[in-house]
Chains A and B, each alone.
Chain A
Amino acid sequence: MDDTIKLSVINMTKLYSNGDGVKNVDLDVHTGELVTLLGPSGCGKTTILRTIGGFIDLTDGDITIDGKSIIALPPEKRPTSMVFQSYNLWPHMTVHDNLEFGLKLRKIPKEIREQKIAEGLSLVKMNGFEKKYPGQMSGGQQQRIAIARSLILEPEVLLLDEPFSALDAKIRMEMREELRKIQTDLNITVIFVTHDQEEAMMLSDRIVVMSKGHIEQQGTPRQIYDHPVSRFVAGFIGEMNFLDDGNGKQLAVRPEHIQVTKGKDGILTGTVRTVMMLGHYMEMTLDTDKGLVKVYINSDQADQFEKGDQVALNFDHTYSYNKE
């Protein structure tokens, strides 16, 4: 990753006929950076991605790559490449032909094509699959090929539209790690769309949190997690307890920032409702007079608490937001 700006979305607006869409979005992506657009469905993240790819026309604003506007170009002329959620590959073509199609269109000579196909396959660890058809492979394998197909075209910006969301949890985790590795090894610029905050935290150099068609906050995963600027971001990223503070404000506190002790000596008191073992830590839910509160405690403390115990809560760190 370096400081040069690869892609700029400048004051972009896209409105659909039903009034949905995104408004006045500004976004700079640096060369070699992996930026995640994160938000619930309908927040406009896919709209931004598809507009960059050329599949949607924007209503207003501009998009530039290396300083040049690309909005007048159709998708086939843009220096971007996109990996879709699923059904990416052409089902009637072998893996080899899927990879070759785009290279052929670029009039790349046969030997170089073959060389690139081999490179692409080894990049995603799919050597030996040249003759397979998409229908003969698992979902994860298909997405690997789809990523390889995009990578060998050496796009200026790689666009990924929830590429792993149809895969099962274990494969999804592996794919994230591999994608991150390939991305840093090749120093490619990637925009990744997801609704999964854990995925965004794992993958990104920078997360752009979106809600209802605008950017709520952008920053490194750390910044977003430690300093959520709004009630929405606080609730969307990680676990957060919201407690009414009176006078229209809400106190927010993360489960790991709560100290629990037996007795009544704390800011808040309550009783233990459930204790759940989650590996190296425990999750406890407490009934307090301000509602249910979720707390993480170390496993070694687990024996101290039982369902029905009277406990006191103290907070290490809190946030305050206006009530939504």
Chain B
Amino acid sequence: MKKPKSNWKTTLFIIGALTPAMLVSLGLVVYPMINQVIRSFKDPKTGAFTFDNYIYLFTNKLSSNAIWYTVVVSVLTVLLSIGIAYLLAMYLRFSNSKISKTIGNLYLIPRFIPSLVAVYAMKTIIADSGLLNRISLHFNENSVFYNYKPGMLYNIKGILFMNCWFNIPFATMIIVAALAGISESVVESAQDVGAGKALIFFKIILPLSYKDVLIAATFVFMSNISSFTTPYLIGPNFPSMLGVYLRKQFGNSKYEIAAATSVVIFVLCSISAIVYLYTNMKEQAWEEN
């Protein structure tokens, strides 16, 4: 297709159409971001330039723990939810059973439940005095199930469990779409020439879908780096996640530390954004036409 000739009228129109969006993002995204970055390098009393806020963040026990804890939780969440989502997506894609169809209809429901509601609801189930515990009290006193305490609140288990609850549907949605793009005959012809299930997975399905899996992973990672609701409601006080830590700094009016924390969160997200952009832009030889 030939590129349409652009004259000054179309150029003006394009600029005119883009201006409102540009202004909004400049005012609401770029300006506050720059503002925060500048603030994170300021001394709270004198306003002079300093690295102290960052030095504090990385040396103070509370904050440095918050940073690594956040990274660990996010990485584990990615591994768990992507792993489970991949298996689930494969099941949904390659099974025609009634169970598969039912799950296919239901799996997105968690996406429609407000996170606050979901966390509180889950709390009533997994708390040590919650639903599971109440049910276990009906077992015989000598039974191993009697007075079962899940022990999942206010520690990493609870956060990971809840994160999976939120992220598996999302990741599954993306991976199912990727797997749907692999046609039946591509799989069947591999089977036909003699490939077993494992080989079909590693040689055909994985290479044809890993890009979308990676994209799902970056999204999950980014949303968990800065998550607040789940760690605030069911996470531990120490180590806390960065979102919770950030709020505390605000509460204590330590705006410069809070700004530096925001920048750290932003940098962590950027890493994953770079992975996302890189995977998206790197066209493999077979995708070029």
Contacts and interface: CB of A to CB of B under 8 A. Distances in A.
The B contact surface, by secondary structure, is helix
B185 interface: yes
Given A87-B186, A133-B286, A135-B287, A92 B207 contact: yes
Interface residues of B, number: 23
A101 B190 contact: yes
A81 B192 contact: yes
A92 B194 contact: no
Interface centre among B186, B287, B289 (most CB of A within 10 A): B186
Contacts of A86: 185
Contact of A101 (B203, B208, B286, B289): B203
B286 A85 contact: no
A82 B208 CA distance: 22
B193 A87 contact: no
A53 B288 CA distance: 33
A76 B196 contact: yes
A215 B238 CA distance: 75
Nearest to A86: B185
Interface string B258-289: 00000000000000000000000000111111
B160 to A, nearest CB: 33
Interface in A55-95: 55, 74-77, 80-82, 84-94
Interface in A111-168: 133-136, 146, 149-150, 153
Contact of B188 (A75, A93, A134, A135): A75
A105 B195 contact: yes
B193 A88 contact: no
Given A76-B196, A133-B285, A133-B286, A91 B191 contact: no
B60 interface: no
B189 interface: yes
Given A87-B183, A92-B207, A92-B208, A82 B286 contact: no
Contact of A153 (B183, B186, B193): B193
Contacts, number: 76
A92 B286 contact: yes
A103 to B, nearest CB: 9
A136 B285 CA distance: 10
B205 to A, nearest CB: 10
Given A101-B193, A135-B286, A88 B207 contact: no
Contacts of B33: none
B204 interface: yes
Nearest to B286: A133
Interface centre among B193, B203, B208, B284 (most CB of A within 10 A): B193
A92 B188 contact: no
Contacts of A170: none
A317 interface: no
A280 interface: no
Contact of B192 (A82, A89, A92, A94): A82
Interface residues of A, number: 32
A102 interface: yes
Nearest to B200: A76
Contacts of A106: 194
A136 B289 contact: yes
A143 to B, nearest CB: 12
Contacts of B194: 76-77, 102, 105-106, 153
A135 B191 contact: no
B209 to A, nearest CB: 10
Contacts of A89: 186, 189
A87 B195 CA distance: 17
Contacts of B195: 76, 101, 105
B192 A90 contact: no
B192 A76 contact: yes
Given A135-B286, A135-B287, A91 B208 contact: yes
Contact of B185 (A75, A85, A150): A85
Contacts of A81: 192-193
A88 B185 contact: yes
A164 B203 CA distance: 27
Nearest to B207: A92
Nearest to B203: A101
Nearest to A77: B194
Nearest to A136: B289
Contacts of A55: 188, 191
B287 A82 contact: no
A90 B188 contact: no
A82 B186 contact: no
A226 to B, nearest CB: 37
B289 A84 contact: no
A39 B287 CA distance: 37
Nearest to A149: B193
Given A76-B196, A84-B185, A135-B289, A92 B191 contact: no
Contacts of A90: 186, 189-190, 203-204, 208
B272 to A, nearest CB: 25
Interface in B8-49: none
A200 to B, nearest CB: 22
Interface in B38-64: none
B132 to A, nearest CB: 39
Contact of B284 (A92, A136, A150): A92
Interface of A: 53, 55, 74-77, 80-82, 84-94, 101-102, 105-106, 133-136, 146, 149-150, 153
Interface of B: 183, 185-186, 188-196, 199, 203-204, 207-208, 284-289
9 contacts: A55-B191, A75-B192, A76-B192, A81-B193, A87-B186, A88-B186, A91-B208, A105-B195, A135-B286
